[in-house]
Structure 1
Amino acid sequence: MSRSLRAQHDRFLLTHPFRISRGVKTQADAVTVTLEAGGLTGRGEGVPYPRYGESVESALTAIERIRADIEAGADRAALQSLLPPGAARNAVDCALWDLEARQSSRSVAELIGAPEPLRLASALTVVIDTPDAMAHAARAVSTSPLLKVKVDAQDPEAQLRAVRAAAPDCRLIVDPNESWDEALLREIEPLLVELRTDLLEQPVSATEDDWLEGFTPAVPICADEAVHVAADLDVIASRYQVVNVKLDKAGGLTAGLELAHATRARGLGLMTGCMVSSSLSIAAALHVARMSDFVDLDGPIWLAEDRAGGVRDEGGMLLPPARGFWGRP
């Protein structure tokens, strides 16, 4: 059966600036792929990330190059060699999953052989600001089960103390987004223990993390920017204790599931993350999240307006999208 592919740039304004160590976002820029066949439609979303040399334009160009293959019937297995890991492949891969679910009248969970996604605890993010502003933001969500705190190398101690004082009972993920060096990490470890930090996410640059090999951290360290696909685990397993699976890095749910299962097979902890995105990205990521120790899928919570029928947050608990939104015909 022939298919029709459409790819477009969708913009989503944010309610507040999303500030991390390498910059600030005021809108989310997504690439949406729509596949139509026999009157049925599958959708997928990818969020290109400049940190990995991606842009909306480069993603749209990459998708256009494989249009003929996809429209001629290339499946998810073929897609893995048609495009490299990244946002472009993620958008197409997830559209193929959604279309397959609708064509078979089976949910993506059924196709995977897994339970349907249910509500789960997902981190709410406190972004970089003054310690007082971060405390105010943390206090507003202090009854949530899990917080993620963005910091840089300027004054992380003051920021983290302010957040912990405002939210004394939440589990805590600290995310410097590669802004620390070895000296700062070693210096701040006692503070992380004192503040009952559950996870330290990618504290140092992914290109300067070789010293982590053989290092025994006081708080488990999660690889984010350092890991994209299952093949990376040969190195990652000797440097990190937890792996953050993001579908935009892995290049889709197909590769994301492969990375998640390979992570578990090596005895490493598992996290599911996302870019600042709409619920179309999150609906697919939920199938990795159900396997994970830590879930950070609050991307849509930052949007002024999400796609209709998407996920919802209730006090730090993420509710799956409405039936028919993605992957559930």
Structure 2
Amino acid sequence: MEISARHERFDLARPFVISRGSRTHQDVVVATVKLGDRSTNAECTPYARYGESIESVIKQIEDFNEVLAQHPGLSAKSVQQELVPQLPAGAARNAIDCALWRLNAETNFPAPLFDIKQQITTAMTVSIDTPPKMAQQARELCDLGARLLKVKLDDKQIVERVAAVREAAPDCEIILDANEAWEHEPLAELFSSLDVFEIRMIEQPVPAGKDHLLKGCPHPIPLCADESCHTSGDLAGLEGCYEMVNIKLDKTGGLTEAIKLAQQARAQGLEVMVGCMVGTSLAMEAALPVASQAQLVDLDGPVLLKHDRENGLVYQNGFILT
């Protein structure tokens, strides 16, 4: 077995703005696993917030060949079960794990290994801008059939921006994503002010590591952990702070840990959301097994790109059609 990795870049359809900055393109890494005459690919998105870069992730993937060389003759399934979990959770492990899922499936992935819904409602993203421009984004997405909007926010004009989006999209379900930006906000007051807009959930209002700010804080709107929850090992620290976790394969280090995290989160009474970094259909497809069982899904990465991969997933009227 041999593993290689390469860098690919995709232009965005429009600038993507969150609380940590903006960008006009998305860099991804594609891992290729070869075994005999068979070959499979998987995609990951290195994330600077977690100390990753294109270079560091490619190196992690290619260095895995040294681990493989120490275990000659090990089957692909054994590699996935025994060697891959030794890697740190993150983008590199995600690409290797998902490539091995495809290799071990020996057919179209993710079917028939999983029960995948034929259509999955996915959030469509409204990025940060002025209230009128965010309202325009929301209207455009609604015209395309969006049923669920994910509204990106920072610490400015929070209520005004949400009010503008709600007015523009009166029939859409709305979730808010602060990307850790509300540490210095009067949280209880802010949560109360936002409640009038019938918000389904608020994602990661405070920085990871400062989740204690949410304990005992009244919040009529459910809260979801994103940056604070990477793997199942993080669940214990979320108690009393959140009602939901956002599972992303680039955080969990692949589908294997994502499935485990979803199972353990539900066992602890938490709802499950499945999200993504910006990427192509190759990355989104790998998350479908978990997304099919989730309460909320945000796998609109390909919609944010100017061009997706050939034969990508079909997005229509707010659904992913599988």
Q: Which TM-score bucket, shorter chain as reference?
A: over 0.9
Matches of 1:303 and 1:280, distance apart in 2: 13
- The Cα shift of 1:306 comes to 1.1
Whole-angstrom CA distance in 1 between matches of 2:187 and 2:157: 13
Hey, what does 1:257 align to over in structure 2?
A: 259
Alignment of 1:238-317 (within 5 A): 238-317=240-319
Please state whether the residue corresponding to 1:68 is helix, strand or coil: helix
Question: Of the candidates 186, 211, 216, which is equivalent to residue 209 of structure 1?
Answer: 211
Return the alpha-carbon distance in structure 1 between the equivalents of residues 41 and 305 of structure 2. 19
Assess if the C-alpha contact under 8 Å between 1:79 and 1:93 holds in 2.
Answer: no
**Offset at residue 213 of structure 1 (A):** 2.7
Q: After TM superposition, give the deviation of residue 107 of structure 1 in Å.
A: 4.8
What is the Cα deviation at residue 182 of structure 1?
A: 5.6
Unmatched tracts of structure 2, length 5 or more: none
**Structure 2 match to 1:163:** 165
Cα separation, 1, equivalents of 2:210 and 2:116:
39
The alpha-carbon deviation at position 206 of structure 1 amounts to 1.0
The letter of the residue matching 1:88 is A
User: Conserved in 2, the CA contact under 8 Å of 1:35 and 1:42?
Assistant: yes
CA–CA distance in 1 between the matches of 2:134 and 2:109?
Answer: 40
The count of aligned residue pairs is: 314
Q: What are the Cα deviations for residues 5-50 of structure 1, in whole angstroms up to 9, with x where unaligned?
A: 2211111111101100001121111110111223222111110100
Q: Is the 8 A contact 2:152 2:178 kept in 1?
A: yes
Distance 1:214 1:185, change over 3 A: closer
Q: For residues 297 and 70 of structure 1, what CA distance do their matches in structure 2 show?
A: 32
Equivalent position of 1:28 in the other structure: 26
Residue 227 of structure 2 aligns to a residue whose secondary structure is coil
1:45 and 2:43 matched = yes
Q: Which residue of structure 1 aligns with residue 152 of structure 2?
A: 150
SS at match of 2:186: helix
Structure 1 letter corresponding to 2:282 = L
Counterparts of 1:29 and 1:289 in 2: how far apart (Å)? 23
C-alpha offsets along residues 170-189 of structure 1, whole Å, 9 cap, x if unaligned?
00001111000264322221
Which residue type is aligned with residue 133 of structure 1?
A: K
Three-state SS of the structure 2 residue aligned to 1:227 is: coil
- Hey, what does 1:8 align to over in structure 2? 6
Partner SS state of residue 277, structure 2:
coil
SS of 2:199's equivalent? Answer: coil
- Provide the residue aligned with 1:195 in structure 2: 197
Please, which runs of 5 or more residues in structure 1 have no aligned partner?
Answer: 321-329
Measure the CA separation in 2 of the matches of 1:80 and 1:4.
Answer: 14
Quote the RMSD (CA, aligned, Å): 1.6
Contact in 1 for aligned 2:94/2:254 (Cα 8 Å):
yes
Q: In structure 2, what residue type is equivalent to 1:221?
A: L
User: How far is 1:159 from its partner?
Assistant: 0.7
Give the deviation of 1:109 after TM superposition: 4.3
- The one-letter code matched in structure 2 to 1:97 is W
CA distance in 2, matches of 1:224, 1:128: 18
| Matched residue SS, 1:260 | helix
- 3-state SS of the aligned residue for 1:186? helix
Structure 2 residue aligned with 1:319: 321
**Whole-angstrom CA distance in 2 between matches of 1:144 and 1:156:** 22
Letter in 2 for 1:18: F
2:205 alignment partner AA: P
Q: Which residue of 2 aligns with 1:123?
A: 123
The TM-score normalised by the length of structure 2 is 0.93
CA distance in 1, matches of 2:28, 2:119: 25
- Paired residues of 2:192 and 2:219 also in contact (CA < 8 A): no
Q: TM-score, normalised by structure 1?
A: 0.91
2-structure distance, mates of 1:24, 1:162:
21
Q: Distance in 2 between matches of 1:301 and 1:289?
A: 17
- Matched-pair contact (CA < 8 Å) for 1:15–1:302: yes
CA distance in 2, matches of 1:80, 1:264: 25
SS in 2 for 1:66: helix
Distance 1:210 1:79 in 2: 35
The residue type paired with residue 176 of structure 1 is: A
CA-to-partner distance for each residue in 1:298-317, whole Å, 9 max, x for gaps? 01111111111111211211
Tell me the CA shift for residue 106 of structure 1: 7.2
Quote the offset at 1:244 in angstroms. 0.3
Shift in alpha-carbon separation, 1:110–1:215, aligned structure 2, 3 A: farther
**Whole-Å separation in 2 of the counterparts to 1:55 and 1:77:** 26
| Matched letter for residue 137 of structure 2 | A
